[in-house]
Amino acid sequence: MASTLMISNPVTNSDRSRKKKKKKTQAKDHHDQDHIKWKSEAQQQIYSSKLLQALSQVRLSSPPPSLPPPSSSTSSASVSAPPRGRAVREAADRVLAVAAKGRTRWSRAILTNRLKLKFQKKHKRQRVVATVTGTNRSSLSRKPKVSVLRLKGKGLPAVQKKVRFLGRLVPGCRKQPLPVILEETTDYIAALEMQIRAMTALADRLSGAGSSSAPPS
C-alpha cells in the first residue's frame, strides 16, 4: 500500500520527506527563533496590547486577589499598594506566559501555578504563602543534599549547586536536569527583558499621556 501511495502521489512522498527535514531543522532553529522572537518589535507590540487589556481587567475588579498582609498596623485603606502591585505583576507574568505559547516549561508552570493558587487559596492559604515567599529558606535547608548527587557526569558540585539555585528562580524548573534548566533560563531571561521593555514603555506612555494632551506622533 505504501508503494502505491508512492507511485500515485509523488507529492505526498516529497511532502513526507520535507516534513521530516522540517522537523529536524525546526529543532535546531527552535532555539534561535525563540531568542529572536523575544527581541522583535512585533512581539513586544503584541505583548503590550495584551498586557493593557489584562491590566484594565485587573483594575475593574476592585478587590484584587491579594495575600493577607503580614503585619499591617494601619487599617486597610481603599487603595492598598502592595497587593495592587502584586496583582499587576502576576497579570504581566500571565500574559508573558501566554505569549510564550506554551513551548517552554516556565510558561506552562506560570499558567498552572495561577490555577493552583486560585483553587488552593481558600483551603491552604498558609502553605501557599510559605512556598511563594520562602524560597530562600528552602534553599538553605536543602544544602546537604547536593553532596549526595553524582559528582562524575555533570561537572563540579559548585556548578551543580548554582544550577539548582537557578532552577529555583526560574518557575517550573526545580526538579529538571541540568541542561533543561540552562535552556529554560536562556529563554526566560530573553522573555523577562521583553517584559520589562514593554512595561517601561507602557508606564512612560501612561504617565506621559496623563500629564500632556495628545502629543504629536
Partner 1 sequence: MSSRRSRTRQSGCSRPISDDQINDLVSKLQQLLPEIRDRRSDQVSAANVLQETCNYIRSLHKEADDLSERLSELLASSDTAQAAIIRSLLMQQ
Cell 525546526, residue located: 26
**178 contacts partner 1 (rule: CB under 8 A):** yes
Q: DSSP per residue over 137-184, as a string? A: HHHHHTTTHHHHS--STT--HHHHHHHHHHHHHSTT-TT--HHHHHHH
**42 contacts partner 1 (rule: CB under 8 A):** no
d(CA 156, CA 75): 52
Cell 506621559, residue located: 208
**85 contacts partner 1 (rule: CB under 8 A):** yes
Cβ(55)–Cβ(91) under 8 Å?
A: yes
**129 contacts partner 1 (rule: CB under 8 A):** no
**206 contacts partner 1 (rule: CB under 8 A):** yes
**26 contacts partner 1 (rule: CB under 8 A):** no
**Residue type present at position 174:** R
Q: How far is the CB of 110 from partner 1 (least distance, A)?
A: 13
- Positions touching partner 1 (CB under 8 A) are 31, 45, 48-49, 52, 55-56, 58-59, 79, 81, 84-89, 92, 148-149, 153-156, 158-159, 162-163, 165-166, 169-170, 177-179, 182-183, 185-186, 188-190, 192-193, 195-196, 199-200, 202-203, 205-207, 209-210, 214, 217
